[in-house]
Amino acid sequence: MSKICETTLRVRYAETDQMKVAYNSNYLVWFEVGRVEMLRELGFSYLELEEDGFNLPVVEIKCRYKAPARYDDELVVRTRLAQMQTSLLRFQYDIVRKADGKLLSQGESVHLVVGRDMKRTHLPTKYRDALHAAAEEAQSATP
């Protein structure tokens, strides 16, 4: 298990404006791609979580844009679990251009753990243990 999950993707033409600059809302989608891949790297899929009756709705999201991503840029989404509480998860993201390592954006999303009834709940041990280990590893790596 790694403290930071890296996911690579390419900016598609449909994700850009007339100047071939990635439209701002795509960064939130790319954060989601990183988050879902991190869960997979931890040993379970978001689909599995849903099938077991749990969801992780976004209750807060932030994105700071540093430089534009452009059509056909290859990007690396770096995702880490920055905080884990009983029924709350906080993920942090960096998006960098692969070719030169330039930081393009930084963000954070906060998620509640809810059941099928949309009420706040706790994750079962099989998910909680993997997420807790990732959060501890990320915190110990933070200067």
Over residues 1-41, the pLDDT tens digits come to 457 999 999 999 999 999 999 999 999 999 999 999 999 99
Beta strands in 20-87 (DSSP E): 54-55, 58-65, 74-85
Instruction: Find out whether 5 and 78 touch, Cβ atoms under 8 Å.
Output: yes
Could you tell me the residue range of the domain that residue 92 belongs to?
Answer: 5-141
The DSSP letter of residue 118 is S
Question: Does 72 participate in catalysis according to the annotation?
Answer: no
Q: For residue 11, which amino acid is it? A: V
Q: What is the pLDDT of residues 52-96, one digit of tens each?
A: 999 999 999 999 999 999 999 999 999 999 999 989 999 999 999
E strand or H helix at 10 = strand 5-10
Q: Tell me: the pLDDT tens digits for 99-143?
A: 999 999 999 999 999 999 999 999 989 899 889 888 877 666 655
Q: What is the CATH number of the domain that holds 58?
A: 3.10.129.10
Residue with tokens 């071939």: 20
E strand or H helix that includes residue 106: strand 103-112
Domain count, the chain: 1
For residue 42, the number of C-alpha atoms closer than 13 Å in the C-beta half-sphere is 28
**What pTM value is reported for the model?**
0.91
Taken in order 119, 1, 47, 139, is the CA torsion positive or negative? Answer: positive
Catalytic residue among 17, 72, 94, 117: 17
Which uninterrupted H or E stretch holds 108? strand 103-112
Q: Do 67 and 96 form a contact (C-beta atoms < 8 A)? A: no
